Chain A
Protein backbone atom coordinates (compact mmCIF):
# COMPACT_ATOMS: atom_id res chain seq x y z
CA UNK A 1 0.00 0.00 0.00
CA UNK A 2 2.83 2.40 0.79
CA UNK A 3 5.15 1.59 -2.11
CA UNK A 4 7.25 4.66 -2.93
CA UNK A 5 6.72 6.70 -6.08
CA UNK A 6 7.16 6.25 -8.91
CA UNK A 7 5.28 2.97 -8.86
CA UNK A 8 4.24 0.70 -11.72
CA UNK A 9 1.16 -1.56 -11.75
CA UNK A 10 -0.51 -3.68 -14.39
CA UNK A 11 -3.97 -2.56 -15.57
CA UNK A 12 -5.37 -5.60 -17.29
CA UNK A 13 -3.01 -7.39 -19.71
CA UNK A 14 -2.54 -4.42 -22.03
CA UNK A 15 -1.60 -1.40 -19.90
CA UNK A 16 0.85 -0.25 -17.24
CA UNK A 17 -0.09 2.49 -14.80
CA UNK A 18 2.85 4.69 -13.82
CA UNK A 19 1.98 6.66 -10.68
CA UNK A 20 4.34 9.55 -9.96
CA UNK A 21 2.61 11.10 -6.94
CA UNK A 22 -0.77 11.23 -5.25
CA UNK A 23 -1.58 14.88 -5.69
CA UNK A 24 -2.85 17.52 -8.11
CA UNK A 25 0.03 19.97 -8.17
CA UNK A 26 2.42 21.58 -10.62
CA UNK A 27 5.37 19.36 -9.57
CA UNK A 28 3.44 16.14 -10.27
CA UNK A 29 2.30 17.66 -13.57
CA UNK A 30 5.87 18.58 -14.46
CA UNK A 31 7.04 15.01 -13.91
CA UNK A 32 4.16 13.75 -16.06
CA UNK A 33 5.39 16.04 -18.85
CA UNK A 34 8.97 14.80 -18.49
CA UNK A 35 7.80 11.18 -18.77
CA UNK A 36 5.48 12.10 -21.67
CA UNK A 37 8.46 13.55 -23.58
CA UNK A 38 10.70 10.57 -22.77
CA UNK A 39 8.08 8.10 -23.98
CA UNK A 40 7.78 10.04 -27.23
CA UNK A 41 11.55 10.02 -27.76
CA UNK A 42 12.12 6.37 -26.85
CA UNK A 43 9.24 4.77 -28.87
CA UNK A 44 9.26 1.59 -26.78
CA UNK A 45 8.44 -1.64 -28.65
CA UNK A 46 4.79 -2.69 -28.35
CA UNK A 47 3.62 0.62 -26.89
CA UNK A 48 0.51 1.88 -28.71
CA UNK A 49 -0.25 5.12 -26.88
CA UNK A 50 -0.18 6.63 -23.40
CA UNK A 51 -2.51 8.89 -21.47
CA UNK A 52 -1.12 11.57 -19.12
CA UNK A 53 -3.07 12.09 -15.88
CA UNK A 54 -2.64 14.72 -13.14
CA UNK A 55 -0.02 12.59 -11.39
CA UNK A 56 0.16 9.42 -13.50
CA UNK A 57 0.65 8.10 -17.02
CA UNK A 58 -1.28 5.09 -18.34
CA UNK A 59 0.74 3.25 -21.01
CA UNK A 60 -1.33 1.11 -23.42
CA UNK A 61 0.58 -1.71 -25.12
CA UNK A 62 -0.02 -4.63 -27.46
CA UNK A 63 0.27 -7.81 -25.36
CA UNK A 64 1.11 -9.79 -28.48
CA UNK A 65 4.22 -7.67 -29.07
CA UNK A 66 5.60 -7.30 -25.56
CA UNK A 67 4.99 -8.58 -22.04
CA UNK A 68 4.34 -6.73 -18.80
CA UNK A 69 7.76 -7.65 -17.44
CA UNK A 70 9.62 -6.49 -20.57
CA UNK A 71 7.79 -3.18 -20.64
CA UNK A 72 8.17 -2.74 -16.87
CA UNK A 73 11.95 -2.91 -17.26
CA UNK A 74 11.98 -0.39 -20.13
CA UNK A 75 9.69 1.99 -18.26
CA UNK A 76 11.92 1.91 -15.20
CA UNK A 77 14.71 3.25 -17.43
CA UNK A 78 12.45 6.11 -18.51
CA UNK A 79 11.86 7.00 -14.85
CA UNK A 80 15.51 7.50 -13.90
CA UNK A 81 16.12 11.02 -12.55
CA UNK A 82 12.60 12.08 -13.45
CA UNK A 83 12.44 14.74 -10.75
CA UNK A 84 15.38 16.64 -12.22
CA UNK A 85 14.43 16.11 -15.87
CA UNK A 86 13.86 19.23 -17.93
CA UNK A 87 10.76 20.08 -19.95
CA UNK A 88 10.49 22.17 -23.06
CA UNK A 89 8.59 25.45 -23.04
CA UNK A 90 4.96 24.49 -23.59
CA UNK A 91 2.94 25.49 -26.62
CA UNK A 92 0.88 28.63 -25.90
CA UNK A 93 -2.81 28.54 -26.82
CA UNK A 94 -4.93 31.68 -26.58
CA UNK A 95 -8.68 31.27 -26.24
CA UNK A 96 -10.81 34.31 -27.06
CA UNK A 97 -13.87 34.32 -24.78
CA UNK A 98 -17.04 36.38 -24.87
CA UNK A 99 -17.83 36.68 -21.18
CA UNK A 100 -21.32 37.11 -19.70
CA UNK A 101 -24.67 37.66 -21.39
CA UNK A 102 -26.12 34.73 -23.31
CA UNK A 103 -22.62 33.30 -23.67
CA UNK A 104 -21.98 33.21 -19.91
CA UNK A 105 -25.37 32.96 -18.18
CA UNK A 106 -23.80 32.28 -14.76
CA UNK A 107 -21.28 35.15 -14.74
CA UNK A 108 -23.56 37.36 -12.63
CA UNK A 109 -24.08 34.55 -10.12
CA UNK A 110 -20.35 33.84 -9.86
CA UNK A 111 -19.69 37.55 -9.30
CA UNK A 112 -22.33 37.97 -6.59
CA UNK A 113 -21.31 34.67 -4.95
CA UNK A 114 -17.85 36.14 -4.35
CA UNK A 115 -18.97 39.76 -3.85
CA UNK A 116 -17.08 40.84 -6.98
CA UNK A 117 -18.08 42.80 -10.05
CA UNK A 118 -18.44 40.89 -13.29
CA UNK A 119 -15.47 42.83 -14.66
CA UNK A 120 -13.33 41.68 -11.73
CA UNK A 121 -14.30 38.01 -12.28
CA UNK A 122 -13.27 38.41 -15.93
CA UNK A 123 -10.00 40.10 -14.90
CA UNK A 124 -9.14 37.27 -12.48
CA UNK A 125 -10.13 34.57 -14.97
CA UNK A 126 -8.01 36.06 -17.78
CA UNK A 127 -4.97 36.81 -15.56
CA UNK A 128 -3.31 33.37 -15.12
CA UNK A 129 -1.51 31.19 -17.61
CA UNK A 130 -3.23 27.84 -17.13
CA UNK A 131 -1.52 24.52 -17.64
CA UNK A 132 -3.24 21.57 -19.33
CA UNK A 133 -2.60 18.84 -16.77
CA UNK A 134 -4.54 16.15 -18.63
CA UNK A 135 -7.41 15.59 -21.06
CA UNK A 136 -10.42 13.31 -20.80
CA UNK A 137 -14.15 13.29 -20.01
CA UNK A 138 -15.01 14.01 -23.66
CA UNK A 139 -12.81 14.37 -26.76
CA UNK A 140 -10.91 17.65 -26.51
CA UNK A 141 -11.74 18.43 -22.87
CA UNK A 142 -8.72 19.86 -21.01
CA UNK A 143 -8.24 19.74 -17.24
CA UNK A 144 -6.59 23.07 -16.43
CA UNK A 145 -4.43 23.90 -13.42
CA UNK A 146 -4.13 27.52 -12.27
CA UNK A 147 -7.59 28.91 -11.47
CA UNK A 148 -7.41 31.85 -9.04
CA UNK A 149 -8.79 30.25 -5.87
CA UNK A 150 -10.89 33.35 -5.17
CA UNK A 151 -13.08 32.20 -8.11
CA UNK A 152 -13.79 28.69 -6.74
CA UNK A 153 -17.55 28.23 -7.14
CA UNK A 154 -19.70 25.15 -6.50
CA UNK A 155 -21.41 23.43 -9.44
CA UNK A 156 -25.04 24.19 -10.30
CA UNK A 157 -27.50 22.39 -8.03
CA UNK A 158 -29.26 21.08 -11.14
CA UNK A 159 -27.07 20.42 -14.19
CA UNK A 160 -28.19 21.81 -17.54
CA UNK A 161 -29.38 19.24 -20.06
CA UNK A 162 -27.54 21.07 -22.84
CA UNK A 163 -24.40 23.15 -22.57
CA UNK A 164 -23.34 24.46 -25.99
CA UNK A 165 -19.88 23.62 -27.33
CA UNK A 166 -17.30 26.30 -26.53
CA UNK A 167 -18.83 27.21 -23.16
CA UNK A 168 -16.27 28.22 -20.53
CA UNK A 169 -17.14 27.25 -16.99
CA UNK A 170 -16.06 27.00 -13.37
CA UNK A 171 -16.75 23.99 -11.11
CA UNK A 172 -15.24 24.04 -7.63
CA UNK A 173 -11.57 24.88 -8.17
CA UNK A 174 -11.56 23.88 -11.82
CA UNK A 175 -12.11 25.84 -14.99
CA UNK A 176 -12.52 24.43 -18.48
CA UNK A 177 -14.12 24.57 -21.91
CA UNK A 178 -16.85 22.25 -23.18
CA UNK A 179 -15.59 20.93 -26.56
CA UNK A 180 -18.97 19.39 -27.52
CA UNK A 181 -22.62 20.10 -26.89
CA UNK A 182 -23.26 18.04 -23.75
CA UNK A 183 -25.13 18.05 -20.46
CA UNK A 184 -23.23 19.72 -17.63
CA UNK A 185 -23.32 21.34 -14.22
CA UNK A 186 -20.53 23.90 -14.44
CA UNK A 187 -21.11 27.62 -13.83
CA UNK A 188 -20.94 29.07 -17.35
CA UNK A 189 -19.15 32.42 -17.45
CA UNK A 190 -18.45 32.74 -21.17
CA UNK A 191 -18.09 31.09 -24.53
CA UNK A 192 -15.41 30.81 -27.20
CA UNK A 193 -15.80 30.50 -30.94
CA UNK A 194 -12.56 28.45 -31.04
CA UNK A 195 -13.13 24.91 -32.21
CA UNK A 196 -11.49 22.59 -29.66
CA UNK A 197 -12.22 19.43 -31.63
CA UNK A 198 -12.54 19.00 -35.40
CA UNK A 199 -12.70 15.33 -36.48
CA UNK A 200 -12.66 16.28 -40.16
CA UNK A 201 -9.28 18.01 -40.30
CA UNK A 202 -5.88 17.48 -38.67
CA UNK A 203 -4.76 18.66 -36.18
CA UNK A 204 -7.99 17.31 -34.69
CA UNK A 205 -7.48 18.97 -31.30
CA UNK A 206 -6.68 22.62 -30.56
CA UNK A 207 -5.18 21.82 -27.15
CA UNK A 208 -2.75 19.05 -26.10
CA UNK A 209 -1.71 17.83 -22.65
CA UNK A 210 1.10 20.03 -21.31
CA UNK A 211 0.04 23.16 -23.26
CA UNK A 212 -0.20 26.59 -21.64
CA UNK A 213 -3.62 28.21 -22.07
CA UNK A 214 -4.63 31.86 -21.72
CA UNK A 215 -8.13 33.30 -21.90
CA UNK A 216 -8.61 36.75 -23.38
CA UNK A 217 -11.87 38.68 -23.20
CA UNK A 218 -13.45 39.79 -26.47
CA UNK A 219 -16.67 41.65 -27.18
CA UNK A 220 -19.52 40.11 -29.14
CA UNK A 221 -18.60 39.72 -32.77
CA UNK A 222 -14.93 40.51 -32.14
CA UNK A 223 -12.28 37.97 -33.10
CA UNK A 224 -8.98 37.25 -31.40
Chain B
Protein backbone atom coordinates (compact mmCIF):
# COMPACT_ATOMS: atom_id res chain seq x y z
CA UNK B 1 0.00 0.00 0.00
CA UNK B 2 2.28 2.72 -1.30
CA UNK B 3 2.76 5.23 -4.08
CA UNK B 4 6.19 5.47 -5.67
CA UNK B 5 7.70 8.72 -6.96
CA UNK B 6 8.77 8.29 -10.60
CA UNK B 7 9.31 11.98 -11.27
CA UNK B 8 9.50 14.60 -8.51
CA UNK B 9 8.05 18.11 -8.62
CA UNK B 10 10.29 20.97 -7.54
CA UNK B 11 8.51 21.17 -4.20
CA UNK B 12 6.81 17.92 -3.27
CA UNK B 13 5.98 17.37 0.38
CA UNK B 14 3.43 15.62 2.54
CA UNK B 15 1.22 18.18 4.29
CA UNK B 16 -1.61 17.76 6.75
CA UNK B 17 -3.51 20.57 8.47
CA UNK B 18 -0.30 21.67 10.18
CA UNK B 19 1.54 21.52 13.46
CA UNK B 20 -0.28 23.52 16.09
CA UNK B 21 0.62 24.62 19.60
CA UNK B 22 4.37 25.09 19.13
CA UNK B 23 4.57 28.56 17.62
CA UNK B 24 5.58 29.93 21.04
CA UNK B 25 8.77 27.86 20.65
CA UNK B 26 9.43 29.20 17.17
CA UNK B 27 7.99 26.20 15.31
CA UNK B 28 6.04 27.22 12.18
CA UNK B 29 2.57 25.82 11.57
CA UNK B 30 3.23 24.50 8.05
CA UNK B 31 0.21 22.89 6.34
CA UNK B 32 -1.09 23.35 2.78
CA UNK B 33 -0.33 26.37 0.59
CA UNK B 34 -3.88 26.15 -0.87
CA UNK B 35 -6.10 25.03 2.02
CA UNK B 36 -9.22 25.07 -0.17
CA UNK B 37 -7.89 22.52 -2.67
CA UNK B 38 -6.45 20.48 0.23
CA UNK B 39 -9.77 20.37 2.12
CA UNK B 40 -11.70 19.58 -1.05
CA UNK B 41 -9.43 16.67 -1.99
CA UNK B 42 -9.76 15.14 1.49
CA UNK B 43 -13.50 15.63 1.51
CA UNK B 44 -13.97 13.99 -1.90
CA UNK B 45 -12.30 10.76 -0.72
CA UNK B 46 -14.21 10.75 2.57
CA UNK B 47 -11.26 11.75 4.78
CA UNK B 48 -11.23 13.86 7.91
CA UNK B 49 -10.35 17.46 6.93
CA UNK B 50 -6.86 17.25 8.46
CA UNK B 51 -5.63 14.03 6.77
CA UNK B 52 -2.21 14.13 5.15
CA UNK B 53 -2.11 14.78 1.37
CA UNK B 54 0.72 15.02 -1.13
CA UNK B 55 1.38 18.63 -2.14
CA UNK B 56 3.13 19.16 -5.48
CA UNK B 57 4.30 22.54 -6.73
CA UNK B 58 5.86 24.34 -9.69
CA UNK B 59 6.82 21.41 -11.96
CA UNK B 60 5.68 18.06 -13.32
CA UNK B 61 5.51 14.95 -11.13
CA UNK B 62 4.67 11.30 -11.74
CA UNK B 63 3.64 8.53 -9.37
CA UNK B 64 3.13 4.79 -9.69
CA UNK B 65 0.31 3.38 -7.58
CA UNK B 66 1.35 0.36 -5.52
CA UNK B 67 -2.12 -0.91 -4.67
CA UNK B 68 -5.77 -0.13 -5.29
CA UNK B 69 -6.78 3.24 -3.80
CA UNK B 70 -9.50 5.88 -3.90
CA UNK B 71 -7.95 9.20 -4.86
CA UNK B 72 -8.79 12.81 -5.67
CA UNK B 73 -6.68 15.60 -7.11
CA UNK B 74 -7.51 19.27 -6.52
CA UNK B 75 -5.64 22.47 -7.24
CA UNK B 76 -4.56 24.56 -10.24
CA UNK B 77 -1.80 24.69 -12.83
CA UNK B 78 -1.64 20.95 -13.49
CA UNK B 79 -3.21 18.57 -16.00
CA UNK B 80 -3.57 15.09 -14.57
CA UNK B 81 -3.22 11.86 -16.57
CA UNK B 82 -4.13 8.39 -15.38
CA UNK B 83 -2.21 5.98 -17.64
CA UNK B 84 -1.98 8.66 -20.37
CA UNK B 85 -5.70 9.44 -20.27
CA UNK B 86 -6.69 12.89 -19.03
CA UNK B 87 -8.26 12.58 -15.56
CA UNK B 88 -10.59 15.16 -14.06
CA UNK B 89 -9.54 17.23 -11.06
CA UNK B 90 -12.03 17.80 -8.19
CA UNK B 91 -13.38 14.23 -8.57
CA UNK B 92 -12.83 11.00 -6.63
CA UNK B 93 -11.61 8.04 -8.71
CA UNK B 94 -10.24 4.53 -8.19
CA UNK B 95 -6.64 3.82 -9.12
CA UNK B 96 -5.36 0.25 -9.27
CA UNK B 97 -2.00 -1.36 -8.76
CA UNK B 98 0.53 -0.30 -11.41
CA UNK B 99 -1.45 2.73 -12.59
CA UNK B 100 0.68 5.72 -13.56
CA UNK B 101 -0.54 9.06 -12.30
CA UNK B 102 1.07 12.02 -14.05
CA UNK B 103 0.74 15.64 -12.90
CA UNK B 104 1.76 17.71 -15.91
CA UNK B 105 2.59 21.33 -15.08
CA UNK B 106 0.55 23.74 -17.21
CA UNK B 107 -0.34 27.41 -16.83
CA UNK B 108 -2.92 28.72 -14.40
CA UNK B 109 -1.54 27.83 -10.97
CA UNK B 110 1.30 26.44 -8.86
CA UNK B 111 0.02 23.74 -6.53
CA UNK B 112 -1.94 20.51 -6.70
CA UNK B 113 -2.98 18.05 -3.95
CA UNK B 114 -3.38 14.30 -4.09
CA UNK B 115 -5.66 12.93 -1.38
CA UNK B 116 -5.88 9.18 -0.82
CA UNK B 117 -8.67 7.56 1.15
CA UNK B 118 -7.47 7.05 4.74
CA UNK B 119 -4.69 9.60 4.28
CA UNK B 120 -0.98 9.25 3.56
CA UNK B 121 0.62 7.35 6.45
CA UNK B 122 4.08 8.94 6.42
CA UNK B 123 6.13 9.83 9.52
CA UNK B 124 4.70 12.29 12.02
CA UNK B 125 6.62 14.65 14.28
CA UNK B 126 5.04 16.59 17.14
CA UNK B 127 1.55 15.49 16.18
CA UNK B 128 1.74 16.35 12.49
CA UNK B 129 2.86 14.73 9.22
CA UNK B 130 3.59 18.12 7.65
CA UNK B 131 7.13 18.12 6.30
CA UNK B 132 9.33 21.04 7.37
CA UNK B 133 12.82 20.45 5.94
CA UNK B 134 14.43 23.51 7.57
CA UNK B 135 14.17 21.86 10.98
CA UNK B 136 14.89 18.35 9.71
CA UNK B 137 11.24 17.23 9.75
CA UNK B 138 11.31 15.28 6.49
CA UNK B 139 12.45 16.34 3.03
CA UNK B 140 10.98 17.31 -0.32
CA UNK B 141 10.41 13.98 -2.10
CA UNK B 142 12.79 12.72 -4.75
CA UNK B 143 12.64 10.01 -7.41
CA UNK B 144 12.47 6.57 -5.83
CA UNK B 145 10.80 7.68 -2.60
CA UNK B 146 7.62 5.87 -1.67
CA UNK B 147 4.79 6.91 0.59
CA UNK B 148 2.76 4.49 2.72
CA UNK B 149 -1.03 4.58 2.26
CA UNK B 150 -3.91 3.31 4.37
CA UNK B 151 -5.66 0.16 3.07
CA UNK B 152 -8.55 0.84 0.68
CA UNK B 153 -11.90 -0.03 2.28
CA UNK B 154 -15.10 -1.23 0.61
CA UNK B 155 -16.77 1.91 1.90
CA UNK B 156 -14.18 4.10 0.16
CA UNK B 157 -14.84 2.39 -3.20
CA UNK B 158 -18.44 3.60 -3.06
CA UNK B 159 -17.25 7.21 -3.16
CA UNK B 160 -15.63 6.90 -6.61
CA UNK B 161 -17.21 9.32 -9.07
CA UNK B 162 -18.26 12.02 -6.63
CA UNK B 163 -17.16 15.50 -7.58
CA UNK B 164 -17.09 19.09 -6.39
CA UNK B 165 -18.84 21.56 -8.73
CA UNK B 166 -17.07 24.70 -9.94
CA UNK B 167 -19.36 26.76 -7.70
CA UNK B 168 -17.68 25.25 -4.62
CA UNK B 169 -14.11 25.59 -5.95
CA UNK B 170 -11.92 28.67 -5.51
CA UNK B 171 -12.43 31.21 -8.35
CA UNK B 172 -8.85 30.75 -9.57
CA UNK B 173 -7.70 33.31 -12.09
CA UNK B 174 -4.29 34.73 -12.74
CA UNK B 175 -5.20 38.42 -12.32
CA UNK B 176 -6.80 38.10 -8.92
CA UNK B 177 -8.43 40.48 -6.48
CA UNK B 178 -7.13 39.63 -3.04
CA UNK B 179 -8.96 40.60 0.16
CA UNK B 180 -6.73 42.15 2.84
CA UNK B 181 -7.64 42.89 6.46
CA UNK B 182 -5.77 46.12 7.29
CA UNK B 183 -3.44 46.45 10.27
CA UNK B 184 -1.92 46.20 12.76
CA UNK B 185 0.75 48.73 11.67
CA UNK B 186 -1.04 50.52 8.85
CA UNK B 187 -0.46 53.91 10.53
CA UNK B 188 3.30 53.31 10.24
CA UNK B 189 3.04 53.78 6.45
CA UNK B 190 2.60 57.02 4.52
CA UNK B 191 -1.02 57.64 3.46
CA UNK B 192 0.18 57.66 -0.12
CA UNK B 193 1.72 54.17 0.28
CA UNK B 194 -1.48 52.72 1.71
CA UNK B 195 -3.35 54.20 -1.23
CA UNK B 196 -0.80 52.75 -3.67
CA UNK B 197 -1.02 49.29 -2.09
CA UNK B 198 -4.81 49.18 -2.38
CA UNK B 199 -4.82 50.81 -5.84
CA UNK B 200 -1.88 49.62 -7.91
CA UNK B 201 -1.25 46.12 -9.30
CA UNK B 202 1.61 43.95 -8.00
CA UNK B 203 3.28 40.89 -9.49
CA UNK B 204 4.92 37.94 -7.76
CA UNK B 205 8.68 37.46 -7.60
CA UNK B 206 10.18 34.11 -8.57
CA UNK B 207 11.82 34.26 -5.11
CA UNK B 208 8.62 32.91 -3.62
CA UNK B 209 8.30 29.64 -1.75
CA UNK B 210 6.45 27.92 1.12
CA UNK B 211 7.82 30.51 3.55
CA UNK B 212 6.80 33.66 1.77
CA UNK B 213 5.54 35.18 -1.48
CA UNK B 214 7.41 38.33 -2.47
CA UNK B 215 5.42 41.04 -4.21
CA UNK B 216 6.94 43.32 -6.84
CA UNK B 217 5.47 46.75 -7.52
CA UNK B 218 5.71 50.38 -6.54
CA UNK B 219 7.91 50.69 -3.42
CA UNK B 220 5.93 51.47 -0.27
CA UNK B 221 7.35 53.92 2.23
CA UNK B 222 7.21 54.04 6.00
CA UNK B 223 6.56 57.09 8.17
CA UNK B 224 9.35 56.26 10.56
CA UNK B 225 11.35 53.17 9.65
CA UNK B 226 10.41 49.62 8.72
CA UNK B 227 11.45 47.89 11.94
CA UNK B 228 9.30 47.01 14.91
CA UNK B 229 10.06 45.07 18.08
CA UNK B 230 9.67 41.43 17.00
CA UNK B 231 6.21 39.96 17.55
CA UNK B 232 4.16 36.95 16.45
CA UNK B 233 2.96 36.58 12.87
CA UNK B 234 0.16 34.74 11.04
CA UNK B 235 0.00 33.15 7.59
CA UNK B 236 -1.10 35.77 5.07
CA UNK B 237 0.47 38.63 7.00
CA UNK B 238 2.05 41.25 4.70
CA UNK B 239 5.41 42.41 6.01
CA UNK B 240 7.10 45.40 4.42
CA UNK B 241 10.87 45.66 5.00
CA UNK B 242 12.86 48.88 4.39
CA UNK B 243 13.10 48.26 0.63
CA UNK B 244 9.32 48.79 0.42
CA UNK B 245 8.61 45.48 -1.36
CA UNK B 246 5.96 43.49 0.57
CA UNK B 247 6.38 39.83 1.54
CA UNK B 248 3.28 37.72 2.26
CA UNK B 249 3.86 35.08 4.94
CA UNK B 250 3.00 31.55 3.72
CA UNK B 251 2.55 28.41 5.92
CA UNK B 252 6.27 27.76 6.61
CA UNK B 253 6.85 31.40 7.68
CA UNK B 254 8.87 32.20 10.80
CA UNK B 255 6.59 32.50 13.82
CA UNK B 256 7.82 36.00 14.69
CA UNK B 257 8.94 38.97 12.64
CA UNK B 258 10.38 42.43 13.04
CA UNK B 259 8.94 44.37 10.10
CA UNK B 260 5.87 46.58 9.94
CA UNK B 261 2.74 44.85 8.69
CA UNK B 262 0.33 46.62 6.36
CA UNK B 263 -2.39 44.00 6.53
CA UNK B 264 -3.19 40.30 6.30
CA UNK B 265 -4.54 38.40 3.30
CA UNK B 266 -7.99 37.01 4.15
CA UNK B 267 -8.03 33.20 4.40
CA UNK B 268 -10.66 33.05 1.70
CA UNK B 269 -8.25 34.83 -0.69
CA UNK B 270 -5.10 32.88 0.27
CA UNK B 271 -5.74 30.03 -2.22
CA UNK B 272 -5.97 32.56 -5.06
CA UNK B 273 -2.69 34.17 -4.00
CA UNK B 274 -1.01 30.78 -3.50
CA UNK B 275 -1.98 29.77 -7.06
CA UNK B 276 -0.83 33.03 -8.69
CA UNK B 277 2.17 32.33 -10.89
CA UNK B 278 5.35 34.37 -10.42
CA UNK B 279 5.86 36.71 -13.39
CA UNK B 280 3.12 38.35 -15.38
CA UNK B 281 -0.02 37.86 -13.33
CA UNK B 282 -1.31 41.06 -11.74
CA UNK B 283 -2.55 41.02 -8.17
CA UNK B 284 -4.78 43.76 -6.82
CA UNK B 285 -5.64 44.18 -3.16
CA UNK B 286 -8.85 45.42 -1.61
CA UNK B 287 -9.84 45.99 2.00
CA UNK B 288 -12.07 43.52 3.81
CA UNK B 289 -13.40 43.73 7.37
CA UNK B 290 -12.61 41.00 9.91
CA UNK B 291 -16.29 40.03 10.25
CA UNK B 292 -16.79 39.79 6.48
CA UNK B 293 -13.63 37.71 6.11
CA UNK B 294 -14.83 35.29 8.80
CA UNK B 295 -18.23 35.00 7.15
CA UNK B 296 -16.67 34.34 3.72
CA UNK B 297 -14.42 31.66 5.24
CA UNK B 298 -17.39 29.93 6.87
CA UNK B 299 -19.31 29.97 3.58
CA UNK B 300 -16.37 28.51 1.64
CA UNK B 301 -15.99 25.64 4.12
CA UNK B 302 -19.74 25.06 4.07
CA UNK B 303 -19.69 24.91 0.27
CA UNK B 304 -17.03 22.18 0.27
CA UNK B 305 -19.08 20.16 2.75
CA UNK B 306 -22.46 20.52 1.08
CA UNK B 307 -21.91 20.87 -2.66
CA UNK B 308 -20.58 17.38 -3.41
CA UNK B 309 -22.28 15.80 -6.41
CA UNK B 310 -22.77 12.05 -5.97
CA UNK B 311 -22.33 10.10 -9.18
CA UNK B 312 -25.03 8.04 -10.89
CA UNK B 313 -27.86 9.24 -8.74
CA UNK B 314 -30.67 7.13 -10.29
CA UNK B 315 -33.20 9.90 -9.81
CA UNK B 316 -31.27 12.13 -12.22
CA UNK B 317 -32.08 9.74 -15.05
CA UNK B 318 -35.81 9.43 -14.50
Contact = CB atoms under 8 A, between A and B. Distances in A.
Chain B associates with chain A:
yes
Interface in B246-266: 254-257, 261, 264-266
Interface in B229-251: 229-234, 236-237
Interface of A: 1, 9-15, 17, 19, 22-24, 48-58, 60, 63-64, 67-68, 134-141, 143, 179-180, 197, 199-200, 204-205, 208-209
A140 B26 CA distance: 6
Nearest to B292: A13
B20 to A, nearest CB: 6
Contacts of B20: 48-49
B256 A199 contact: no
Contacts of B184: 9-11, 17
Given A17-B232, A58-B232, A208-B25, 17 more contacts: A9-B184, A11-B234, A11-B261, A13-B293, A23-B229, A49-B24, A58-B233, A63-B297, A64-B294, A64-B297, A64-B301, A67-B294, A134-B256, A137-B256, A180-B135, A204-B126, A208-B24
A221 to B, nearest CB: 26
B294 A13 contact: yes
B305 to A, nearest CB: 12
Interface centre among A9, A136, A209 (most CB of B within 10 A): A136
Nearest to B293: A13
A204 B22 contact: yes
Interface in B154-202: 181, 183-184, 187
B148 interface: no
A17 B290 CA distance: 14
Interface string B278-296: 0000000000001101100
A180 to B, nearest CB: 6
B27 to A, nearest CB: 4
A15 B136 contact: no
A139 B267 contact: no
Interface centre among B26, B137, B230, B255 (most CB of A within 10 A): B26
A157 B261 CA distance: 28
Contacts of B294: 13, 63-64, 67-68
B231 A68 contact: no
A13 B267 contact: yes
Nearest to A138: B26
Which range holds the interface residue count of chain B? 35 or more
A58 B27 CA distance: 14
B230 A136 contact: yes
B207 interface: no
A46 B25 CA distance: 20
Given A23-B229, A200-B125, A139 B256 contact: no
B23 interface: yes
B231 A58 contact: yes
Nearest to A51: B232
A203 to B, nearest CB: 10
Nearest to B256: A136
Contacts of B255: 51, 135-136
Interface centre among B21, B261, B293 (most CB of A within 10 A): B293
B86 interface: no
A137 B254 contact: yes
B24 A12 contact: no
Contacts of B230: 53-54, 134, 136, 143
Contacts of A51: 23-24, 231-232, 255-256
B22 A68 contact: no
Given A56-B231, A68-B290, A12 B25 contact: no
A143 B25 CA distance: 11
B224 to A, nearest CB: 11
Contacts of B293: 12-13, 63
